[in-house]
Structure 1
């Protein structure tokens, strides 16, 4: 049965040559038309939303082997990676991850996927707990949480006009009002146009 390779790098200045060398060094012979390469594609993008992975996925069939150098070549979101791996396994595709082993319908492969899912869930819970703790600390320190209160632009513009008329510089006016200089300039430009006769 044919063997395919999937190579991915996140930036345009990186190359996939090393990945192909590692695959060949592990004893896999992959025909050039069965090598699918993503250049400058983030692993955060779900696998099936990537052009080359879609093309690869369309060519894979039962009994085929797909080789990647590392699991993170399939993606950075572990839940998407697990879903992708499970979908490949269900279609009868054997996934080989160098250094990790073969992921197929075996009990060992299922254990590996379940462990990865558990670790991912654990990491999400830890991040959530840290975020809640930081927000609680900020609240305890008196910080206002949530979206800032929307400022009445008409009132703000009126104050800006008064400050500028009194001789305040644009920079000092912006600072007094608590807005950026560019915001002040933009706001002062948006005066209602006089009707044309």
Structure 2
């Protein structure tokens, strides 16, 4: 039997292209979770469903796992059931020696690509931090500063912009708008 597994990383993505390629399979397990997550119930259900002589069919190797270690663990689980892995877009069939070799090589390349992407993201974050970009939730503004924001905005003699008020208080311009709106709603 051909048992298929289709996965995309988010709820916003769809599986249509994969499902089209997998339509000839006997049963299809579908999942919308990141490949980096180890707890993927549908993948484990697909592997549990496998019987001796079956084949787990996927469209691409990265649909199965993001690291070489995880790939090998999953293939070991598949082979322990007496089944094989068949990767359609990469001509991998672990029932053959050449398929096993291709599996290992492509898995290593996929992990390398993931690591390169992670390095680029980290470099980008470091560059942004060096430029003063702040990440995370804005700091909480104390009550005395909240009152000061309202006073400065309401002061008709002051020609301060919202950005200048934000600079004085040490918060963002958006926080000035939000705090002013919230404080006026309370009053």
- In the superposition, the TM-score normalised over structure 2's length comes to 0.63
Unmatched tracts of structure 1, length 5 or more: 25-29, 192-197
Aligned to 2:45: 55
Preserved CA contact (<8 Å) 2:35 2:62: no
Cα-to-partner distance string for 1:53-81 (whole Å, 9 max, x where unaligned): 33322221333222333334435x34444
Aligned to 1:27: none
Aligned Cα root-mean-square deviation (Å): 4.0
Q: Distance in 1 between matches of 2:64 and 2:157?
A: 57
Preserved CA contact (<8 Å) 2:93 2:99: yes
* Of 70, 75, 79, the match for 1:85: 75
**Structure 1 residue runs of 4+, over 6 Å off?**
none
Cα-to-partner distance string for 1:100-134 (whole Å, 9 max, x where unaligned): 13114x65444334323432443344335434554
60 and 133 in structure 1: CA distance in 2 versus 1, 3 angstrom threshold: closer
Preserved CA contact (<8 Å) 1:157 1:188: no
* Of 153, 165, 178, the match for 1:182: 178
Q: Distance in 2 between matches of 1:127 and 1:12?
A: 23
Preserved CA contact (<8 Å) 2:33 2:40: no
Unmatched tracts of structure 2, length 5 or more: 167-171
Q: Distance in 2 between matches of 1:134 and 1:92?
A: 45
Larger Cα Rg: Structure 1 or Structure 2? 1
